Amino acid sequence: MGRVIGIDLGTTYCAMAALNDAGVPDIVPNREGERITPSVVLFQGDIAIVGSQAKRSAASAPEDTVQFVKRHMGEKSIVYTTEAGKDLRPEEISALILKRLKEDAELHFGEPVDRAVITVPAYFDDARRTATRDAGTIAGLEVLRVLNEPTAAAIAYGLRHADAGVFLVYDLGGGTFDVTVMRSAGDELEVLATAGDRNLGGYDWDNRLMKHVDAEIVAAGGASVLAGDEARIAELRDKAEIAKRTLSTSEQCSIVLSVDGAHHHVKVTRETFERMTSSLLGRTESLARQVVEEARLSWAQIDRTLLVGGSTRMPMVTRLLESMSGRPAERGVAQDEVVAMGAAILAAAENSAAPDALAQVTGGALTAVRDVTSQSLGVEVLADGERVENSVIVPRNSRLPCGVAKKYATMYHDQRGILLKVTEGEDTDMAYVNVIGQSEIRIPVAGLPEGHPVEVRLSYDIDAIIHVQVTDGQTGQHWGEFEIERVANMDGGQLRAAGDRLRAAEVI
């Protein structure tokens, strides 16, 4: 039996951790000795280079570099075409990163690593979770759980602070934002509510700064970098990110770029930077307020605020949280490592056959972790016989695992089939929700009258993966059951083929 690890598969950086002999999670360094690995892949012919070396080349070889792929997880898109003409999907790029991490861990431990818990933003929907699980499978890992990042952070944090109370996890990473309210009651950790934005992170702060610097260059009579070639844009992105980090500790900094032989020196103060990004921070603020409201709490009832994600190093974030909560915000553990540490704890527990595995792994500090759904689940219905709308069956922030049944009715006499469209989202308007899958259910009984009750049961398993069941609402007869045929994900054959290709691929 090989080892198990916890992996934080981030938009910009990945971290992995495993329990040490003392049962405490430790970061597993990569082969270069780094505690975090940039989520960047550089293709050189048939070889995929992952990590810092790829990140360093991003500016000089942007067309052979793939970054921020997590933003595309769950999309049926092609993010890169290899020299040999092979189209790669987001889960295949993620699999390359995971393969590199797996091999680094094997090098570190000197033994096979074949099972892992991989984390995802709580706000990831079903397609994105499935794509993440698939990426692990392609990379040759058995994915024990797809775990929510804020929950992972809370597990790692909860291990050190066993006191009861309500806390808010504010996770602003490179590409996604998650805000979660949790309650710890002694040895139980319960998610009360979660919200977030899967397209909001440090990357967007970088974009604002890039635009600003570009505008300054143009104002000074220079040529626009953003209108230029990819290599220049990548260089500007690099420099903007470095400047942003500098502004977390310094009041000002400058960015130097040479465009068409002319050197440009753009000075940026923290104040200017905060002003140009205030609307981004504002989005995190309204989501944080929303989640506290959804947990039916007031800010006075939040005992502690926990900062997770590299972007919470920006002073504007700390200020915002302190002004909302009226309390100092805490950085319990290194904020870019805490998610991987929590994943490592759960991986060890999942790997144990003992019924009280989590308690054993955590020395009794935690016996149970309860999570909630981050998306409402429903079906498309015909309301009042005329309007097509979304009918929510499982409301968001329901405790996992969960199943809810709701009764509908047949539309006409002797109806013999139902086209069931399963949706994700809150709105009744179909335009604002996602149809995540559909299936034709046959009604095995003839001659049922119009308005005959039909029960649809939607359930989420512990990984928030969705199952659908349809029964006769009167007799309880089973009419059909399916796991959603996900429009956006790979099928079994595609997955196997991708796995075979990856086994043969060289990843360094």
Ligand X SMILES: Nc1ncnc2c1ncn2[C@@H]1O[C@H](COP(=O)(O)OP(=O)(O)OP(=O)(O)O)[C@@H](O)[C@H]1O
Burial of 83 (0-12, 13-18, 19+ CB in 10 A): exposed
Of the listed 106, 149, 204, 241, which one is catalytic? Answer: 149
Q: Which of 124, 166, 125 is nearest to 149 (CA)?
A: 124
Q: How far apart are CA 85 and CA 499, in angstroms?
A: 17
By C-beta, is 173 or 332 nearer to Mg ion? 173
CA-to-CA separations, 195 to 47, 180, 321, 349, in angstroms, rounded? 39, 6, 16, 27
- For strand 188-197 and strand 368-370, is the pairing parallel, antiparallel, or unpaired? parallel
Kindly name the residue from 104, 171, 206, 337 that is annotated as catalytic: 171
Q: Judged by CB under 5 A, which of 3, 5, 10, 172 binds Mg ion?
A: 10
Question: How far is 463 from 252, CA to CA, in rounded Å?
Answer: 44
Residue 78 φ then ψ, to 5°: -105, 120
313 interface partner picked from Mg ion, ligand X, none, CB below 5 to 8 A per type: ligand X
Tokens of 265: 């020196």
Catalytic residue, from 8, 104, 204, 241: name it: 8
C-alpha 476/C-alpha 473 separation (Å) is 6
Q: How far is the CB of 214 from ligand X (least distance, A)?
A: 18
Question: The sheet that has 417-424: what strands, in order across it?
Answer: 387-394, 377-383, 417-424, 434-442
Q: Nearer to ligand X by C-beta: 270 or 452?
A: 270
Q: Look up residue 449 and give its DSSP letter.
A: P
For residue 194, what are the CA distances in angstroms to 39, 40, 197, 218, 375? Answer: 25, 29, 11, 42, 9
Q: Which is nearer to ligand X, 311 or 390 (CB)?
A: 311
Print the binding letters for residues 59-88 with ligand X: x by CB under 6 A, - otherwise: -----------x------------------
342 binds, among Mg ion, ligand X, none (CB under 5 to 8 A by kind): none
Among residues 128, 129, 244, 421, the one that binds ligand X under rule CB under 6 A: 244
Q: Which is nearer to ligand X, 181 or 339 (CB)?
A: 339
Paired tokens of 287: 């989501």
Residue 150 binds ligand X, judged by CB under 6 A: no
Position 336 contacts ligand X (CB under 6 A): yes
Answer yes or no whether residue 10 interacts with ligand X by CB under 6 A. yes
- Angstrom distance (rounded) from CA 200 to CA 6: 24
Residue 51 interacts, among ligand X, Mg ion, none and using kind-specific CB cut-offs from 5 to 8 Å, with: none
184 binds, among Mg ion, ligand X, none (CB under 5 to 8 A by kind): none
Contact predicate 25/344, CB 8 Å: yes
DSSP conformational letter for 431: G
| Catalytic residue check, 149 | yes
- Per rule CB under 6 A, is residue 245 in the interface with ligand X? yes
Contact call for residue 309 and ligand X (CB under 6 A)? yes
Interacting residues with ligand X between 169 and 198 (CB under 6 A): 173-176
Residue of closest CB approach to ligand X: 202
Among 62, 158, 201, 332, the residue binding ligand X under the rule CB under 6 A is 201
Count residues near ligand X (CB under 6 A). 23
CA distance 101 to 344: 14
Give the one entry of ligand X, Mg ion, none that residue 304 binds, where binding means its C-beta sits below a cut-off of 5 to 8 angstroms depending on kind. none
Decide: is 102 part of the binding site for ligand X (CB under 6 A).
Answer: no
Strand 142-148 with 113-120, pairing: parallel
Stretch that binds ligand X, among 9-17, 104-112, 263-271, 435-443 (CB under 6 A): 9-17
Q: Does residue 401 have a cis peptide bond before it, meaning omega lies within 30 degrees of 0?
A: yes
Question: Among ligand X, Mg ion, none, what binds residue 325 when CB lies within 5 to 8 Å by partner kind?
Answer: none
Query: Alpha helix locations (H) across 351-465?
Result: 357-361
The residue among 104 and 408 lying less far from ligand X, judged by its C-beta, is 104
Nearer to ligand X, 68 or 482 (CB): 68
- State how far the Cα of 36 lies from the Cα of 16, in Å rounded to an integer: 8
80: left (phi over 0), alpha (psi -120 to 50) or beta: beta
Choose the one of Mg ion, ligand X, none that binds residue 198, judging by a C-beta under 5 to 8 angstroms depending on kind: none
User: Is position 267 annotated as part of the catalytic site?
Assistant: no
**229: which residues sit within 8 A by CB, 6+ positions away?**
none
How many Cβ atoms sit within 10 Å of the Cβ of residue 168? Answer: 28
Answer yes or no: 294 catalytic: no
Amino acid 452 reads H
Query: What's the rounded Cα separation, in Å, for the pair 128 and 318?
Result: 29
Per partner kind, with CB cut-offs from 5 to 8 A, the member of ligand X, Mg ion, none near residue 176 is ligand X
Count CB neighbours of 221 within 10 A.
8
Binding of ligand X by 438 (CB under 6 A): no
- Catalytic one of 70, 102, 239, 421: 70
What's the min distance (Å) between Cβ of 210 and ligand X? 13
Give how far the C-alpha of residue 1 lies from the chain's centroid of Cα atoms, to the nearest Å: 29
Q: Is 393 in the site for ligand X (CB under 6 A)?
A: no
Q: Is 374 in the site for ligand X (CB under 6 A)?
A: no
Q: Which does 180 bind (CB under 5 to 8 A by kind): ligand X, Mg ion, none?
A: none
Q: Is 463 exposed, middle or buried (0-12, 13-18, 19+ CB in 10 A)?
A: buried
3-state secondary structure of 384: coil
Query: Closer CB to ligand X, residue 10 or residue 51?
Result: 10
User: Is 38 near Mg ion (CB under 5 A)?
Assistant: no
Shortest spacing between CB 120 and ligand X, in angstroms: 9
Between CA 133 and CA 146 the distance in angstroms is 7
Q: Does 173 bind Mg ion (CB under 5 A)?
A: yes
- Binding part of the chain for ligand X, among 215-223, 226-234, 238-246, 349-357 by CB under 6 A, reads 238-246
List interacting residues with ligand X (CB under 6 A).
8, 10-13, 70, 173-176, 201-203, 241, 244-245, 248, 309-311, 313-314, 336
List interacting residues with Mg ion (CB under 5 A).
10, 173
Catalytic residue positions, numbered: 8, 70, 149, 171
